Amino acid sequence: MDKKKVIIFILIIIFTIMCLFSILMYNLLSVNNAGNANSQNISNIQNIQNSETIQTTSSEETKISPNAIITFFKHYNGCGHTVKVTENVQYNEVNMSKADFSASYRDWTINKFTSSEIELSKNFDGNCGEHFFVKSSDSGYINIYNINDDGSIDLIDCNIN
């Protein structure tokens, strides 16, 4: 009987070792599967974060730089001339977005808006102020007159010899 007890004891030990080994293998496999699921979740989170970063970067607004130039195109309906006036950007306009700048120049049309160059245009009634009338006087002098929008003339300079 001692031999039988030893064999039963050995079988019980082998069965116990097999059960412990099976439990250990099951736990290792479940940890690996959980690790794969976590790495998939992490990669999904990274993909989401990367796409958010790209969206944020691609929606950046253009701002006016300190050395920007504003060009005004003033079209006068009375004479048909377009006058081009170029100015440096004002200190208070630096770092404005297009929407902010547009609010400051509501009556003007923005034709071009970059950080270094802005082009605005507007139509005006009347003449451009660059039309003159030259007439000689009875005394032999030449008089220069400015032509107003209503057709009247103003003497600018007289007695030119």
- What is the helix (H) or strand (E) element at residue 57, kind and residue range? helix 2-58
137 and 117 fall within a common domain: no
87 and 111 fall within a common domain: yes
- How high does pLDDT run on average in the chain? 80
73 and 38 fall within a common domain: no
- Digit-coded pLDDT (tens) for 68-110: 999 999 998 888 889 999 999 998 999 999 999 999 999 999 9
What is the rounded average pLDDT of the residues 27-50?
61
Q: How far apart are CA 93 and CA 117, in angstroms?
A: 13
Cβ contacts of 33 within 8 Å, gap of 6 or more: none
Maximum alpha-carbon separation in the chain: 157
Say how far residue 63 (Cα) sits from the centre of its chain.
7
Structural contact between residues 118 and 69, judged by C-beta atoms closer than 8 angstroms? yes
1 and 29 fall within a common domain: yes
93 and 113 fall within a common domain: yes
Closest CA to 88 of 67, 72, 103, 74: 67
Which of 22-31, 39-48, 56-65 has the least mean pLDDT?
Answer: 39-48
Q: How far apart are CA 26 and CA 20, in angstroms?
A: 10
- Digit-coded pLDDT (tens) for 65-78: 999 999 999 998 88
The domain tally of the chain equals: 3
Give the domain range for residue 7. 1-60
| Boundary (domain end) residue, out of 60, 87, 104 | 60
31 and 56 fall within a common domain: yes
